[in-house]
Structure 1
Amino acid sequence: MKNDLFELLWKALRETLYMVAWSSFFALLLGMALGILLVVTDKGHVLQSVHVNKVISFLINGIRSIPFIILIVLLLPLARLIVGTSLGPTAAIVALSIGAAPFLGRIVENSLKEVGAGKIEAAIAVGASPVTIIFRVLIPEALPALVRGVTIAIIGITELTAVAGAIGAGGLGSLAIRFGYQRFREDIMFATVLVIILLIQAIQLTGDGIAKSIHNRRYKLE
């Protein structure tokens, strides 16, 4: 391996972690909002609104149907408007957040729908408001499933950073393409793949550990 390998890997890893952290944060905010709205506006739920539910569902399906590399190109003007540039890790966060939010929204929706109807009905019976039901019943009860779903989403965002790297976002994906593939640096290619594998494993193990901890704590309390 050449002397510059560690320096290149370290810089690319920092850029990837930067994109993943901020994209996951914004995608989670948007995804939680979308997922909660999908559940509570569904037929028979606490804020039933069929029209709102259909609009949100259509929006989510529409964004998810667009290939991510095309979505990045479509969102370049928005990234330029928000962060002042269409290149680099910061600009990629815009597309990564918007691209991952619908996926997270569906994960949140599925997780919240696993909560037993009896617990929701009991909360309604004692006069709980919709906000109380959302934050005191739905989210706490679905927390282990939410953590596992968010873990999957973060891994997906990590993989998408490689696609973003192909059009100037930087990160490990860009390093593998520009230096490993285009310059025939097999050492960089293999080292980059190894780092990505280790990063994905670390994210998965962390998510599984948090979900298991929540489940065990709840089981002991019960």
Structure 2
Amino acid sequence: MGPDLTFERAMAARCNGGPVAGLDEVGRGPWAGPVVACAVALPDPLDDFGGLPQAVFEALDDSKKLTEARREALFDPLSQAVSHAFGEASVQEIDDLNILQASLLAMRRALEGLPGPVCGALVDGNRDPNLGMPTELIVKGDGRSIAIAAASILAKVRRDRMMQALGMAFPGYGWERNMGYGTKEHQAGLATLGVTEHHRKSFAPIKARLQIGLNI
């Protein structure tokens, strides 16, 4: 069973039928790059397909369960079908706040960026971002809620594209393939090239490399 509209409809009923947002973030684990969140407001949670084209609705799932090609193929039709906005927290903010608080900040920014108001929010995970509205926290929500699944796909593609661009600008770390995660290729790049401005200096492997004194 994939995601459905159960949570969206319950939240819509709770807040008198108004638009409901789904929020998710990507990029907590990588050693480099920002954390990116997305907020998605479905056109009509009470419609059979949430107001989405049926083919898009039926293709949605937790972004981690979809191939890169499938996520890319869904990005444009999904972007066109839903009201959405992205929010980011920079590497500096991750280092200043910690990765959890930076992730919650990115979610708040995404919600604030939506072009229209929503009356409630469905959030992936078990930490409340303090959105100032009725909020339901849903563990593994990207596999249970259509709005969160949509947000997870849009956020994942957005961040992957950012890391691919950074990989071209900073060759040698493999970011265009590993998206900033601590793969062997990334570790080899750190050992030979050092730490860049896009590395999370509060993360233990990067902090250890800085103590050696190798950075660019």
| TM bracket, shorter-chain basis | under 0.3
Which of structures 1 and 2 has the bigger CA Rg? 1
Normalized per residue, the structure richer in strand is 2
The normalised TM-score by structure 1 is: 0.27
